[in-house]
Amino acid sequence: MKSAVTTVITSADASGRFPTISDLESVKGSFDRAPARLEAAEKLAVYIDKFTADALDEVYGKGGYEQANKDKCARDIHHYLRLINYCLVTGGTGPLDEWGIAGMREVIRAQLLPTAAYIEAFIFIRDSIDVPGQMGQQAATEFKALLDYLINALA
């Protein structure tokens, strides 16, 4: 699984070099942000069901998508949020890249689920996070960055 440390080491190794000062500063920055990421992971674990339900209500409440897909969409949104939780803990996008983006995009297409519904759901979650009610500003920043990463990957 990719983390900030393994990403730097793999990149340096692939280039046949030792990690540079900027590589090490990148790892240090990841460690410095670790408390905010861990807070976001903890709060996401608490609010994951609420985030999923609220996003589904927003997206499917408008009537723009078939209600028959709502349960599958709920399952997948919950799955993606769990992967984001893992990313927050590891400090890298590895869990999303390896288990979410590559494989799930094909599952969504194979089941004829509307990718736009997922994107709308994640945008809704990103834009409706209550700071400081649900998590602190730094934690929300870390969480939103991963949501943006996912949104861009699905788009």
Residue 34 pLDDT > 90? yes
What percentage of residues in the chain have a pLDDT greater than 90? 64
69, pLDDT greater than 90: no
Collapse the DSSP code of 2 into the 3-class scheme (helix H, G, I; strand E, B; otherwise coil) and give the result: coil
Whole-angstrom CA distances from 73 to 88, 107, 137 are 22, 11, 28
Query: Residue 119's pLDDT is what?
Result: 93
Q: How many CB atoms lie within 10 A of CB 26?
A: 16
pTM for this model (two decimals): 0.88
pLDDT score, position 52:
97
Q: What's residue 107's pLDDT?
A: 75
Structural domains of the chain, with CATH = 34-154 (1.10.490.20)
Q: Would the annotation count 87 as a binding residue? A: no
> Residue 112 above 90 pLDDT?
no
Q: Give the residue with greater pLDDT, 102 vs 90.
A: 90
Question: What digits encode the pLDDT tens for the residues 132-146?
Answer: 999 999 999 999 999
HSE at residue 89, side-chain half, CA atoms within 13 A, is 14
The pLDDT-based confidence of 109 (bands split at 50, 70, 90) is: confident
